[in-house]
Amino acid sequence: MEKARPASLAASDTVRVTNPGGSSPFVLTCDHASNFLPAEFGTLGLAAEDLSRHIAWDPGALPVARRMAEALDATLIETRISRLVIDCNRPLDAPDLIMSVSVSEKTVVPANQGLSADEREARVALAWHPFHDTIEKTIEDRLASGRETRLVSIHSFTPVFKGKNRPWHIGIIHDEDRRLASPLISALKRLAGVTVGVNEPYSPADRVYFTLERHARSRGLPCAMIEIRNDEISGETGQRKWGDLLTGIFSDLEPEEAGQTRSHSVGQIAFSRKVSSIG
């Protein structure tokens, strides 16, 4: 869990932007980066061990995203508050915007039961709006200056779901716009020993694609969601491996100034790619 921050958390503290002036066309988000609970929420009635589980955050995702942002010179926008307070990757009308019961992990969140409209709105104002307002401004500023922009969300998933093992080491989530997803999937599938999920373990139909829909798809920008199995990135070695691996792949998706070729067809962008094995 993150180290404690001030007991009363302001909205400006619930989102962090790293490298806002990054030169990369990629803007990275980490929607479930933190399991931090401000003091006013206590533990939400949960046991301490529950706060380190996937219901509270996406373990390992943030170190991977930070490593990629640094290596690619990309902007990274991350949440700094647990998804148990509010899930910033959900629309405001989603039943699990504020999770009261984790169906997949059979966990009741006592303090999220029976919230009033004012209590819900306070959480929206605390974290949801700052996160999305920050992404909005970042993208609008880039587009206003004519900068190419591609949005990528970094997440992690559990190895076992409802008693069934998940075979994928990594999944790429996309909708009908495959401009970014297709070359990512192709590059990953060429890696020996890596099982790649395509719209696995989730798909946009599961309502997990909200951040990308709101900020990229609405503007016609290429986008994709990356899901890494969290036992692959539970420690520094795995985080470095996947951060470096994805950095190499994304470097091969850079535009012309990075020495890559780029061509357009109907609804597609083709990229040159060189990655062929795990480094």
Q: How far apart are CA 76 and CA 190, in angstroms?
A: 27
On whether the CB atoms of residues 2 and 9 are closer than 8 A, the answer is no
Q: Count CB neighbours of 146 within 10 A.
A: 6
Strand partners, 170: 196, 228
- Mean per-residue pLDDT, 35-39: 95
Q: How far apart are CA 179 and CA 234, in angstroms?
A: 30
List the structure tokens of 254: 């850079």
Long-range contacts of 262-271 (CB under 8 A, 24+ apart): 267/177, 267/179, 268/178, 268/179, 268/182, 269/179, 269/180, 269/183, 269/222, 270/183, 271/183
Q: How far is CA 18 from CA 75, 77, 236, in A?
A: 6, 6, 20
Radius of gyration of the chain (CA): 18
Q: How far apart are CA 98 and CA 9, in angstroms?
A: 18
The terminus-to-terminus CA distance of the chain in angstroms comes to 30
Q: Which of 133, 128, 138, 155 is nearest to 229 (CA)?
A: 155
| E strand map for 106-261 | 107-108, 150-157, 160-161, 164-165, 170-173, 196-198, 223-229
% of the chain at pLDDT higher than 70 = 85
Task: List pLDDT tens digits, range 102-159.
Answer: 866 679 999 999 999 999 999 999 999 999 999 999 999 999 999 999 999 999 999 9
Task: List pLDDT tens digits, range 216-246.
Answer: 999 999 999 999 999 999 999 999 999 999 9
Q: Which of 5-19, 180-194, 210-224, 232-246 has the lowest mean pLDDT?
A: 5-19
% of the chain at pLDDT higher than 90 = 82
Higher pLDDT, 258 or 5: 5
Query: Strands 15-18 and 75-79: what pairing?
Result: antiparallel
Sketch the domain layout of the chain as residue ranges.
Answer: 11-271
Q: What angle, 0 to 180 degrees and rounded to 10, lies between the N-to-C axes of helices 236-251 and 61-72?
A: 40
Q: Please say if the pLDDT value at position 4 is more than 90.
A: no
Q: Which of 132, 124, 118 is nearest to 97 (CA)?
A: 124
Q: Please say if the pLDDT value at position 278 is more than 60.
A: no
Q: Please say if the pLDDT value at position 264 is more than 60.
A: no
Report the SS3 class of residue 246: helix
Q: Which of 2-6, 88-92, 133-137, 275-279 has the lowest mean pLDDT?
A: 275-279
Q: Please say if the pLDDT value at position 276 is more than 90.
A: no
State pTM to two decimals: 0.87
pLDDT of residue 131: 98
List the structure tokens of 277: 């094995």
Dihedral of the alpha carbons of 10, 15, 21, 24, in degrees to the nearest 10: 180
Q: Which CATH superfamily is domain 11-271 in?
A: Zn-dependent exopeptidases (3.40.630.40)
